[in-house]
Amino acid sequence: MNIHIVYAHPHRASFNAALRDEAVGTLEGLGHTVTVSDLYAMNWKAVADFDDFGPTENEHFMAATAEAWEKGTLASDIKAEQERLLAADAVILQFPLWWFTVPAIMKGWMDRVFTHGFGYGSSRTWKRYGDGVLAGKRAMIVVTTGAADAHLSDRGVNGDINDLLFPIQHGVLFYTGMQVLPPTVITGAGWQSDYADTVKQLKERLETLAETEPIAYRRQTDDYDEHKRLKPGLEPEGTTGFALHTA
């Protein structure tokens, strides 16, 4: 497979950097082709603005995005990332959990790369939530947290890690069409002592990247009515919240 890793951590000798290198070595050892976008090393521009679109007289931001995608006038760094995603069979986002989400530089990568036309379709076609340009590709999050397992459990003070990652996994990766695998969550980063166990956990997930069952998120075109609400009766009785959107 062709696998693209989007990586965000500012310290070149960090725990995250070591895990990134382990991931690249493992995947290449399995015969995969790996590309890496190290956002901090690239000095990635994190703010989406009209400078991304080339010449345009369109004052509506999202319409200008679509125009630039159609005309091929997006900024060169955006086009390069889109080409890497198109070439990839699987995409891995690796980052530390900061303030319950991705670092700002990775959010900026999402904002700028998943443009109208590329990351999602128009209101006429609704190319999103399981459909779109990136449909069929696999995606997985590798996330490190300072919090322990118990802090990120169903009754943990930080909330369930699956709830915290839902906006990224469902609202970004699945939204743009990709099949999302269960995340690789490495807790206690910064104070955990058994690096070998952590590497083993990561390698086991990477070795099964092609076979792991994706999270069964519901496709918009299958399970939602004309108002984009889940059709009645599809969920087990009593289901609420994010769980409604998993079959």
With CA atoms as reference, report the closest residue to 52 among 42, 40, 43, 61. 61
Provide the pLDDT for residue 54.
87
Provide the pLDDT for residue 126.
67
Q: Residue 195: pLDDT above 90?
A: no
Provide the pLDDT for residue 184.
96
Calculate ∠ Cα 207-84-199, nearest 5°.
25
Query: What does pLDDT average to over the chain?
Result: 92
Cβ neighbours of residue 44 under 8 Å, at least 6 residues apart?
37, 77, 105, 108, 109
More confident residue, 60 or 173: 173
Provide the pLDDT for residue 57.
80
Q: Residue 94: pLDDT above 70?
A: yes
Q: Residue 19: pLDDT above 80?
A: yes
Share of the chain above pLDDT 70, in %: 97
Distance in angstroms (rounded) separating the CA atoms of residues 246 and 180 = 12
The residue type found at 68 is: A
Neighbour count for residue 211 (Cβ, 10 Å): 7
Report the predicted TM-score, pTM, of the whole model to 2 decimal places: 0.94
Mean pLDDT of all residues in 173-193: 89
The pLDDT tens digits for 123-138 are: 555 689 999 899 999 9
